[in-house]
Structure 1
C-alpha cells in the first residue's frame, strides 16, 4: 500500500518522519508513504473551489483540488490528512472535513486525523519520551495538563521545557516559535513509543494508520 500524508506544518512532518516506520514498518516493506508539509491550515473553500495561490501552500485552501488529483492518480491507495483542531470543536471539524472529501469526485480513500488541540498533545501523551528529551522539565507544569484538553497546549509544553517559557518565545517572535516546535519534534520524537502514548487523538492516528495498512475499514 502507498499512502500520501498531508501535514499542516513542517514540525509535524519532522515528527511523523520518525514515527511512521514504528507504525507501518520500514519504508517500502511492504508499505510506502510520502509526506507533504504545508505552511498553515487555512480553511475549506466555499463550494470546494480552490481559488487560493497554491504557492502559499495552505493546506485546507488546497484540499479539494489535492484530493481530486489524488483520486485520479494511479498507485495512491490512501491519503491521510493530519491537522490540529486548535479551538475548533473536534466532531464538527471532522464532519466538515469528511463531507468535503465525500463531495470530491473522484476522491481517494481519505483518513483525517486531528491532534487535540495541537500536535504538542502527542508529546505530552508520552511523558517518558518527554522527560528523556528534557530531564529538567518542570513536573509541576506537566502535572497541570489534562490530556487532549484545549488549554493552549504548546504554551504549556513551552512553560515546562523552555527557558523563560512561552512568554519568552512570544516576546522573541517569529521565527522562534517555529524553531522551538522543530526542536521538540527532533528531540522528543526519537524517544516516543506509540504503544504507551496516552493521547486519545494520537491513538486514533496510530490505530487508523494500522487499519489502513491491513485494508480494514
Structure 2
C-alpha cells in the first residue's frame, strides 16, 4: 500500500518520516507533501484532491494532517472533509483527516521519555505535572510551552522546530503517547491501511 501525506510544515514532515514506520511498519511506501503552511495547504487542497480523484490507484491512501492552532476543530475538519469529498465519492473511504491538537508539539510533550533521550536535564516527572498530563489541553501554545521547558532546563533559546523533530521523533514510543490527538492519528492510520 502507498500513503500520500499532506502536511502543513517541515517539522511535521520530519516527524512523520520517523513515526509512521513505527505505527504501520516498513512494508508500505509513503510520500509526504509539505505545503509550508496551513493556509497554503487549505487553499490548494481542493485542486489536489480533484487530481487524486482522477488517478489514484485502489492501493493508495491519503492522509491530511494539520495543526489545530486554536481553531474550531469541527469547522477545520469540515473544511478538510469538504475539500476531499470528490475523492471519497469516486474512490470510497481512502482519505484520513487528522488534526494535531493544539500543535504537533503536543505529540512531543506527550512523550517526555523521547524528549529526555536528547534533553536529559528535563525531568521525567514533567508528564506528571497537572499542566502536562494531557498535552492537548495546554493553553497558550504547545510550541511556546515546549520552548519554555527547554529554556528552563538550560537548553537553547528559541525552539528550532525542524531540529527538535529530527532529534526527538526517532525516540518516540508510538504505543504510549499521552496526547489523545496522537493516539487518534495512530489508530486512524492503522485502520485506513487495513
The whole-number CA distance in structure 2 between the counterparts of 1:160 and 1:197 is 18
What RMSD over aligned residues (CA atoms) do the two structures have, in Å?
A: 2.5
8 Å contact from structure 1 (residues 68, 107) kept in 2: no
Alpha-carbon displacement from aligned partner over 1:134-172 (angstroms, at most 9, x marks no partner): 11126787633342015211010011114799xx53xxx
The whole-number CA distance in structure 2 between the counterparts of 1:38 and 1:82 is 11
In structure 1, list runs of 5 or more residues that go unmatched. Answer: 43-57, 170-176
Q: Which has the higher contact order (CA 8 A, sep 6+)?
A: 2
Query: 2:150 aligned with 1:161, yes or no?
Result: yes
The whole-number CA distance in structure 2 between the counterparts of 1:107 and 1:85 is 28
The whole-number CA distance in structure 2 between the counterparts of 1:140 and 1:198 is 13
Which of 76, 101, 107 is 1:93 aligned to?
76
Distance 1:105 1:94, change over 3 A: closer
The whole-number CA distance in structure 2 between the counterparts of 1:86 and 1:12 is 14
Which of 111, 132, 137 is 2:122 aligned to?
137
Q: Count residues with an aligned counterpart.
A: 187
The whole-number CA distance in structure 2 between the counterparts of 1:107 and 1:184 is 39
Query: 2:171 aligned with 1:191, yes or no?
Result: yes
Runs of 4+ in 1 over 4 A off after TM superposition: 103-108, 138-142
Q: TM-score, normalised by structure 2?
A: 0.86
Alpha-carbon displacement from aligned partner over 1:33-88 (angstroms, at most 9, x marks no partner): 1111111001xxxxxxxxxxxxxxx2111000001111112436221011000011
Aligned residue runs from structure 1 range 30-45, under 5 A: 31-42=28-39
In structure 2, list runs of 5 or more residues that go unmatched. Answer: none
Report deviation, 1:101.
1.9
Q: TM-score, normalised by structure 1?
A: 0.77
Aligned to 1:46: none
Alpha-carbon displacement from aligned partner over 1:84-107 (angstroms, at most 9, x marks no partner): 000112122212321232256866
* Bigger share in helix: 2
8 Å contact from structure 2 (residues 61, 193) kept in 1: no
The whole-number CA distance in structure 2 between the counterparts of 1:95 and 1:184 is 31
